[in-house]
Amino acid sequence: MPNYAYINGTIVPAAKAVIPINDLGLLRGYAVFDYLRTYNGKPLLINHHFERFENSAKSLRIALPLTKKQITETIISLIQKSKIKKDVGIRLLITGGNSTDGISLGKPNFIIIIEDLAEPKEEEIKNGVKLIINKFQRETPLVKTTNYKNAIRHSSEKEEQNAYDILYHFNNNILETTRNNFFIFKKNILLTAKEKVLQGITRKIILQIAKEKFKIEERPVNIDELKDATEAFVTGATKNILPVVQINKLKIGNGKIGKNTKILIKMFRKYIRNCLKIQKNNKTSNE
């Protein structure tokens, strides 16, 4: 549970943080969010996250009440006040506001929550994880809305099959997992869905750094191509690159973490280290 939260200009103990029941995020699922994490106590890649958050809000015709600078300062205040010693997750959430008639937009409710970071277990990082597949395509994949109904509805199947997450496919194309982007290697070619998936920040960085070493194909990935995958992994803010070694009953590669994935993990860590160095030199929280 988070220690403190920001709501509409006020920082309050998280346990007392509430919103009115006529909020459109609650009544109509009309809300967008973004999620970033700290390294060494400082929020990383905040420029990227702010940009995506602002775009998500715009697509729902919601204007952010704070500038990027104000949001950054608020996040830093929250972290300091929360006195958390380890790294944390930061959830930005904005809704359609309190509605007078249950459907018309009101003044947005803007919330920032500091949360425990749900990093993968050591075992999962070391051995890779299993995914199960589910036919689904998110309504507005480019907009980071709060709609995770399908993910939560199917979470029991995931547990029953001892899987880490659910991989969505639609129209015979592999898309993304419930909360992450998905990549495969076919030998030295790195493939990921180009469209109808969330434009992940980690995904964007991977595509940027991977091109130094690998051929990249950003295009529709047919579900039948999974059997030709020599390696696979998911990417996201909390898990960076997490290797995938099994999808349903299909073993990926030889069922162990592949060498190219290991190379990419190293490259990504180096990228993060560089960001942290730049941050330290600039003495700002932005990368």
CA 243 to chain centroid, in Å, comes to: 16
Residues pairing with 225 in the sheet? none
CA–CA distance from 181 to each of 196, 208, 258 (Å)? 11, 15, 18
Q: How far is CA 47 from CA 89, 124, 219, in A?
A: 16, 29, 26
Q: How far is the CB of 132 from a second copy (least distance, A)?
A: 17
Please identify which residue in 37, 54, 96, 175 interacts with a second copy, judged by CB under 8 A.
96
Shortest distance, position 144 Cβ to a second copy, whole Å = 12
Window 26 to 65, contacts with a second copy (CB under 8 A) = 26-31, 33, 59-61
Q: Which is nearer to a second copy, 1 or 212 (CB)?
A: 1
Structure tokens belonging to residue 141: 């994949």
Q: How many residues bind a second copy (CB under 8 A)?
A: 53
Contact letters (x/-) for a second copy, 106-125, by CB under 8 A?
-----x-x-xx-x-------
Contacts of 128 (CB under 8 A, 6+ apart): 242, 243, 244, 245, 246, 256, 257
Residue 103 engages a second copy in binding (rule: CB under 8 A): yes
Distance CA 267, CA 284 (A): 24
Interatomic CA distance for residues 77 and 91, integer angstroms = 14
Separation between Cα atoms, residue 212 and residue 202, nearest integer Å: 16
What distance lies between CA 21 and its chain's CA centroid?
27
Residue 48 beta carbon to a second copy: minimum distance, rounded to whole angstroms: 21
- Judged by CB under 8 A, the chain residues 115 through 174 that form the site for a second copy are 115-116, 118, 139-140, 145-153, 155-156
Query: Strand locations in 49-186, DSSP E?
Result: 88-95, 110-116, 129-135, 165-170, 173-177, 181-186
Determine the interface stretch with a second copy among 100-108, 122-130, 188-196, 253-261 (rule: CB under 8 A): 100-108
**DSSP code at position 237:** T
Q: Tell me the closest approach of the beta carbon of residue 16 to a second copy, in angstroms.
A: 9
Q: Please report how close the Cβ of residue 224 comes to a second copy at its closest, in angstroms.
A: 24
Is residue 34 within 8 Å of residue 28, measured between CB atoms? no
- Shortest Å distance, C-beta 60 to a second copy: 6
- Shortest spacing between CB 31 and a second copy, in angstroms: 7
Q: Of the two residues 113 and 229, which places its CB atom closer to a second copy in the complex?
A: 113
**Residues of the shown chain interacting with a second copy in the complex, contacts defined by CB under 8 A:** 1-2, 5, 7, 14-15, 17-31, 33, 59-61, 91, 93, 95-96, 100-105, 111, 113, 115-116, 118, 139-140, 145-153, 155-156
